[in-house]
Amino acid sequence: MKQITIKDVAEAAGVSKATASRVLSGHPATSPEARKAVEAAAGRLGFRPNAQARSLRNTRTQTIGLLLPDVRNPFFGDLAHAVEQRARSFGYMTLFGNANENVEQQDEYIDVMLSQRVDGVIAAPQGDGGNLSQLLRSGVPVVFVDRVLDSIKVPSVSPDNSTGIHDAVKHLTARGHRRIGYIAGPQSTSTGRERLRSYKEALAATGADTDADLIFLGDFQAASGAEGARTLLDLANPPTALLAADSLMSIGAVGVCNERGIAIGTDLAFVAHDDIDAFTLINPPLTVIAHDIDAMGRLAVDMLMSVIGGGSPASHTIPGRLIVRGSTPEFEKERQS
């Protein structure tokens, strides 16, 4: 099937390509008659401008790239939705790249995005080598979201990884817990590092137990959350409370508790990360450390638009908030029962 080009429209309207183009792109120097004829012809023929040809001439593609570790992670799913909707409101399409927590796939997608000449990239970066450095050197506007690379100065939107965890530990110690197990994220990510640091600081501040045994290093995937829960619950002197550094690991850990018949909220206190729908369905619903994902996505897009416009916006932090629900009971109560 032959595609309709602007030349076809011009001929049908009895004008030149130049005039047709001017009418269709809203250039002011056009006569009412020409405008009418061209618009009629374009509508009748069902003309759709070829975006390739257009963005070859202009340098703009009206497309941004979004590079995420995994869309199936509810956190990134929500983030993707927020970014996409916001970008749309600016007239930009979003090209998703799913790195699958895998540096090679990330490299591939960076490659494609650069080839597609996206106008900007929003990324939750993994590692700091490979094509990532090429992306940064290429001059394409970049904003980091969720994660940051210390070595690289790029505007970013990141969660506050301190307040929520401090509040959670304070909350747990206030309820009598002294042995708080922590399922940490990978130390190769800023989020993983900062959250672990905050956990350690909070333990020190509250005087809770600081055994190295209470820390399990996971990788932000469900399976490692499960492994972490098993390891920590199998300790000779197991924790009475668990804290997990992201939603997927929380899911894995909760699964293990169910498997073993450990009643969360009765036998064990549990604090998860991210305010995911599913966590409110669990009985009792989980106490979580939440961040406003929608705001993160919107802000990331706004900042990217600013960078594209030549600005250099300051980095932002999205506050973390502890939402107390039924999964974090008093420790005393447990003993008495």
Indicate whether 280 belongs to the interface with a second copy (CB under 8 A): yes
Distance of CA 336 to the CA centre of its chain: 42
Task: For the chain, list the strands marked E by DSSP.
Answer: 63-68, 93-98, 120-123, 142-145, 156-159, 180-184, 215-217, 241-244, 269-273, 287-291, 316-318, 320-323
DSSP string, 18-29: HHHHHHHTT-S-
Q: Which does 307 bind (CB under 5 to 8 A by kind): DNA, a second copy, none?
A: none
Q: Which does 61 bind (CB under 5 to 8 A by kind): a second copy, DNA, none?
A: a second copy
Binding characters for a second copy, 182-211, by CB under 8 A (x = yes)? ------------------------------
Q: How far is the CB of 212 from a second copy (least distance, A)?
A: 29
Shorter beta-carbon distance to a second copy: residue 56 or 205 = 56
Shorter beta-carbon distance to DNA: residue 35 or 200 = 35
Residue 253: partners with Cβ closer than 8 Å, 6 or more residues away: 183, 225, 226, 228, 229, 242, 244, 270
Instruction: Considering only residues 89 through 108, tell me which ones interact with a second copy, judged by CB under 8 A.
Output: 93-96, 98, 100, 105, 108
Q: Which two tokens stand for residue 111?
A: 């490659």
Whole-number Å distance between alpha carbons of 334 and 337: 5
**Using an 8 Å Cβ cutoff, are 234 and 260 in contact?**
no
Residue 330 pairs in a beta bridge with: none
Q: Helices then strands (H, E): number in the chain? A: 14, 12
Count Cβ atoms below 10 Å from residue 103 Cβ, excluding itself. Answer: 17
Q: Which two tokens stand for residue 2?
A: 């032959």
Per CB under 8 A, the list member of 143, 168, 183, 251 interacting with a second copy is 251
The residues that touch DNA, with contacts defined as CB under 7 A, are: 3, 5-7, 14-19, 21-22, 24-25, 27-31, 33-34, 47-50, 53-54, 56-58
Per CB under 8 A, the list member of 18, 40, 51, 235 interacting with a second copy is 51
Tally of residues, the chain = 337
Q: Is the peptide bond before 284 cis (omega within 30 degrees of 0)?
A: yes
Per CB under 8 A, the list member of 8, 39, 77, 316 interacting with a second copy is 77
Q: How far is the CB of 141 from DNA (least distance, A)?
A: 18
Q: Which does 100 bind (CB under 5 to 8 A by kind): DNA, a second copy, none?
A: a second copy
Q: By the criterion CB under 8 A, which residues form the site for a second copy? A: 1, 3, 46, 48-53, 55-56, 61, 70-72, 74, 77-78, 80-81, 84-85, 88, 93-96, 98, 100, 105, 108, 111-112, 114-117, 134, 137-139, 222, 251, 254-255, 258, 263, 276-278, 280-283, 285
